[in-house]
Amino acid sequence: MELKTKSLKGGQLKNMIVKRLYFDKALSCADLSELLEKSIPSISKAVSELIDEGFVVEQGFAPSSGGRRPLIYALKQEAMYTLTVAMDQLSMRIQMVDLLNNPVSEEVMTELRLLNNPNALSALIENINDYIISTGIPKDKITGVGIGMPGFVDTVKGVNHTYLDSGGESITHLIAMKTGIPAYIDNDSSLIALAEQKFGIARAQRDVMVINLGWGIGLGMIVNGEIYRGNNGFAGEFSHIPLSEDGALCICGKRGCLEAEASMLVVAEKAIKGIKKGHVSSLKAADKYQARQVGDAIMAAANMGDQFAIELLSDAGYKIGKALAILIHIMNPASIVLSGRGAIIAKILLAPIQQALNKYCIPRLANGTELLISDLGFNAELTGAAVLVMGNFDKDTKNHLITSNQ
């Protein structure tokens, strides 16, 4: 089966309009003309065709500003769908969303360990295909698969240098070949930053650092309104900021990295050891479970007031704050957003983070940076995966014109 590009009949302009309406929700022809730098007659013609083809609907008239009120247009939310995938080191989540980022099928979480797992990529593809079948949505209605994943991700070559061994081949090419749908990958923290900037609490901010509080501690950087990737695409390795010379050994081989001192997996391991030593806590059965279940239990217990859980998270928060002081000194961001899985305990982390900033950060810089808590939270990566697909909607996708095995 030939894999079709998800371009609309009639060319680039209509793709550009769909992409613009996805990010801005509702616009008039005059708005689209100004944003896309195209003539109003050409915009009006393209919008009319999009309405006839079932992609765009009228949303009524814009508020009056004197004179004739213009019609505004929005996407028809069920015209197309996006398959979103959010991965961490231990599991993956899949969900289908419409053009307004609303879920149209139940989210499915599957355990999938990435470290030292040569079958991880094939398992990912199998889960994607099974999920598509379960939704009953035809593949020609799915505009793309967006996947967030930890590790050193090369978005241009479609390769993850840390996980998901593809034998040197492009992961996006392999997934597209096996699913029949264009695929896009990016680092999980970068996608979370995109989600926060486009649809979250950092909407439209130009200089914002987004902390991904997951099993590790990731960073997505928005600089001058764009994702900042650095010289070779791997900027933002916040988790490997060194906090001490003789700290815990990190998976990168160095000692004292932030991730080895304050990640949720480390907090979970400390909880298990503490329970075995007799710490009084509602987590008394924590030593019987794996780190992922313990991590979730710690966050829930902390929000219920469990003192031991709060102490563990407060210690982690202080270390995160110490690392944030370094980040603020270098980047001078307008805001820092606490996002990802750990956003549900961000209020508990704020006080120790601020305490560390007071100690380690120059007040003039710290006072100019606002700490924010994500509204998207655990859903941020899934939203970012949809943003990734739609951000590529008006771009050339000839690299996806391949033959599918399906």
pLDDT computed for residue 2 by the predictor: 43
Confidence of residue 299 (pLDDT cuts 50, 70, 90): very high
Mean pLDDT of the chain: 90
CATH class of 12-75: mainly alpha
Query: What integer is the mean pLDDT of 60-89?
Result: 90
For 160-183, what is each residue's pLDDT tens digit? 999 999 988 999 999 999 999 999
In the block, tokens 């992409």 appear at: 19
Grade residue 69 by pLDDT with cuts at 50, 70 and 90.
confident
Alpha-helical (H) ranges within 229-290 are 258-262, 264-276
Check residues 273 and 406 and name the one with the higher pLDDT.
Answer: 273
Return the sign of the alpha-carbon dihedral for residues 250, 256, 259, 262. Answer: positive
**Domain boundaries defined on the chain:** 12-75, 81-191+382-400, 201-375
Rounded Cα distance between 135 and 356, Å, is 47
Answer with the residue of higher pLDDT: 406 or 168: 168
Q: How far does the chain reach from its first CA to its final CA, in angstroms?
A: 7
pLDDT at 111 > cutoff 50: yes
CATH architecture assignment, domain 81-191+382-400: 2-Layer Sandwich (3.30)
236 vs 186, more confident:
186
The answer to whether the CB of 241 falls within 8 A of the CB of 326 is yes
Q: What is the pLDDT of residues 215-232, one digit of tens each?
A: 889 999 999 999 999 888
Least confident of 39-43, 66-70, 177-181: 66-70
3-state helix, strand, coil in the chain (%, to 5): 45, 20, 35
pLDDT given for residue 289 in this prediction: 55
Block residue for tokens 């508990």: 348
Q: Is the pLDDT of residue 9 over 60?
A: no
**CA 301 – CA 369 distance, rounded (Å):** 30
Q: Which residues, listed in sequence order, are joined to residue 57 by a DSSP beta bridge?
A: 74
Mean pLDDT of 386-404: 66
Q: Report CA dihedral (82, 108, 381, 198) to the nearest 10 degrees.
A: 40
Average pLDDT over residues 71-83: 96
Residue with tokens 């996947």: 147
Confidence of residue 63 (pLDDT cuts 50, 70, 90): confident
pLDDT of residue 250: 85
Residues in the chain: 406
**Would you call 107 helix, strand, or coil by DSSP?**
coil
CA–CA distance, 27 with 33 (Å, rounded to integer):
10
Instruction: Please report, as a single letter, which amino acid is at residue 188.
Output: D
Identify whether the C-beta of residue 146 lies closer than 8 Å to the C-beta of residue 82: yes
Question: What integer pLDDT is reported at residue 121 of this predicted model?
Answer: 97
Banded model confidence at residue 365, pLDDT cuts 50, 70, 90: very high
Domains 81-191+382-400 and 201-375 share a fold: yes
Which of the four pLDDT bands, split at 50, 70 and 90, describes residue 10? Answer: low
Half-sphere exposure of 179 (CA within 13 A, CB side): 33
Q: What is the mean pLDDT of residues 2-26?
A: 77
Q: What is the pLDDT of residue 246?
A: 83
Helices (H), 200-306: 258-262, 264-276, 291-303
pLDDT value, residue 404: 33
Q: Give the containing element (helix H, strand E) for 387.
A: helix 380-391
Query: Of residues 395 and 12, which shows the higher confidence score?
Result: 12
Average pLDDT over residues 133-152: 96
**Which helix (H) or strand (E) element contains residue 18?**
helix 12-24
Residue 243's DSSP bridge partners are none
Higher pLDDT, 128 or 279: 128
Segments in 73-159 forming alpha helices (H): 120-135
Provide the pLDDT confidence category of residue 79 given band limits of 50, 70 and 90.
Answer: very high
CATH class of 201-375: alpha beta
Confidence category of residue 145, pLDDT binned at 50, 70, 90: very high
pLDDT band at 254 (very low <50, low <70, confident <90, very high): confident
Say if residues 79 and 99 touch (Cβ distance below 8 Å): yes
Determine phi and psi for 308, rounding to 5 degrees: -60, -45
Q: What is the pLDDT of residue 290?
A: 64
Asked if residue 109 lies in contact with residue 148, where contact means CB atoms within 8 angstroms, the answer is no
Q: How far is CA 242 from the centre of its chain?
A: 25
* Of residues 211 and 10, more confidently modeled: 211
